[in-house]
Structure 1
Amino acid sequence: MHDPIATGRRAAMRAVAIQAVVTLLVALLALAAAGPRQGLAAAVGGIAMLVGNGLAAAVALGGGIQPAGAAFARLLLGTLGKWVVALVVVVVALGPLRLPPLPLLAGLAAGMLAYLLAVQMNTQRRQR
């Protein structure tokens, strides 16, 4: 039996795992190139997207098969949750923690890009 929800959930979790590896690499690169605060900032940015994308996948794909309106609402709620998590982490990192903004944004962008590319690669692989 073919379960498209389970397939989508596995694909999203695989993309999150790839995103975690890319986040680690960016954080290590920033650590080696600029120092511990920059490495921490890059890691925090990447982890913000990692947690946000994991939350979005869990919310969007966690309800099983539902009517179109409910599925679309879950998709929107997951996306909203992802960006709220990312925004809160960025505000805390730049405010009270006073982490450098450029590595933070680099980690955030690398995490987002890695997730999008992993999802795209998985989609292309399934279409073959």
Structure 2
Amino acid sequence: MHDPIAAGRRSALRAAAVQAVVALLVALLFLAQGPQAALAAGIGGGALALGNALAAGVSLGGIVQARVAFARLLLGALLKWTIAIVVLVIALGVWRLPPLPMVVGLAAATLAYLLALNVRQTVKRTQT
């Protein structure tokens, strides 16, 4: 039996894993500037990867009514950005990490997530 919800959840979790790997690579690149810059870049990308993974789990929970599905989608998006913003505020305010590497990690993770979702679907369409 074909379950598009489960396939979407797997695709979103796979993209979040790609996002975490890219965050790690960006952190390794910033290691040349020092451990604080590397930590900031890793936290920036990792916060969004964690948020996207949790949002995928909440949003794509199964086949439900349209109102429930829309509420889950909104809750997933709210959860993702709440986690990302709270982690970034703690990293900037409490730990005093540099902001530029954090923003670079966040941007690289966002681009990686979008590319991972789109490349996966493009490959599937050309194979069928």
Q: Structure 2-normalised TM-score?
A: 0.94
Aligned residues: 126
Q: Tell me which residue corresponds to 1:53.
A: 52
Match for residue 98 of structure 1 among 96, 99, 103: 96
Q: Tell me which residue corresponds to 1:118.
A: 116
Q: Structure 1-normalised TM-score?
A: 0.94
Q: Identity, % of aligned pairs? A: 62
For 1:61 and 1:28, the matched residues in 2 are separated by 32
Alignment root-mean-square deviation, CA: 0.9
Stretches of structure 2 that go unaligned for 5 or more consecutive residues are: none
Deviation at 1:69, TM superposition (A): 1.5
Q: Tell me which residue corresponds to 2:78.
A: 80
For 1:48 and 1:56, the matched residues in 2 are separated by 12
Deviation at 1:68, TM superposition (A): 1.4
Q: Tell me which residue corresponds to 1:36.
A: 35
Stretches of structure 1 that go unaligned for 5 or more consecutive residues are: none
Q: Tell me which residue corresponds to 2:19.
A: 19
